[in-house]
Amino acid sequence: MRFEREEDLYEPVKTFFEGQGYEVKAEVRGCDLIARRGDETPVIVELKTGFTLPLVLQGIDRLALSDHVYLAVAVAEKPARNSLWRRERRGILKLCRRLGLGLLAVHEGNAKAPPLVEPLLDPLPYRPRPNRKRQTLLLKEFAHRVGDPNTGGQTRRPIVTAYRQRALRCAALLQSQGATKAAEVAKLSSVEKAAAILQRDVYGWFQRVERGVYRLSPKGEEALQTFADVVASLEGETLR
């Protein structure tokens, strides 16, 4: 059974809630589905053939009527590789969780099996748990980055991180000095972790000449041109 209209989702979702002892009615005061069990708070479900912004906005609006609001989304038997559901499922779950919305995946049926309603998320108040590790990394990057070398939303060149700034200083030193020992690069460039940067060679900018000695690669030469403004702004700075 292929879900072509929102109405196609109604019967599977109705059956799902009736199986849990709810009385279900459709199109009550603009809500696609209302489920009620005794004197409990009513459950509101909004139906869509795909996850969309209008569906999310509908769900947020329904939270003024009940704390128990579900978004029911049709899921194809074989979702397209570039479908939003397939690409962003984790992000969709995170969004719904933050908004306090429940989420039901309504899987299409076939000749052998009827449509299946899969509850992915219950509507609960969102209580964020701070991620101390990510916060520490954020503050560390902010503290170690010299100046403000990027523009918010930029796409024309890679983001200049504190690590990239250190690597650029090493590259600039090798460009002017030629093949140099790693310890000397650290001393002359004022980059304390120069040896590790040269050894790891994350960007492919450095070439090992012999044990502990490095020179600039053609890719490194290109990088110095691309980030010439950044290199100029780093002069005189000690990078940790």
Task: Give the range of the structural domain holding residue 174, as residue numbers without chain letter.
Answer: 145-233
Strand order in the sheet with 31-36: 23-28, 31-36, 43-48, 68-75, 102-107, 116-121
| pLDDT single digits (tens) 130-180 | 788 988 988 889 889 999 889 887 888 999 999 999 999 999 999 999 999
135 domain-assigned: no
Same domain, 79 and 35: yes
25 domain-assigned: yes
Q: Of 121, 136, 161, at which residue does a domain stop?
A: 121
Of residues 64, 46, 65, 66, the one with CA closest to residue 56: 46
Same domain, 59 and 158: no
Same domain, 81 and 172: no
Same domain, 96 and 25: yes
Please report which confidence band the pLDDT of residue 79 belongs to, taking 50, 70 and 90 as the band edges: low
Phi, psi of 219 (to 5 degrees): -65, -35
Same domain, 199 and 97: no
DSSP sequence for 13-42: HHHHHHTTT-EEEEEETTEEEEEE-TTSPP
Same domain, 116 and 157: no
158 domain-assigned: yes
Distance in Å from the first CA to the final CA of the chain:
61
130 domain-assigned: no
Asked whether the CA dihedral 19, 24, 26, 27 is positive or negative, the reply is negative
Query: Residue 205 has what pLDDT?
Result: 96
Please report which confidence band the pLDDT of residue 191 belongs to, taking 50, 70 and 90 as the band edges: very high
Counted domains in the chain: 2
Same domain, 102 and 30: yes
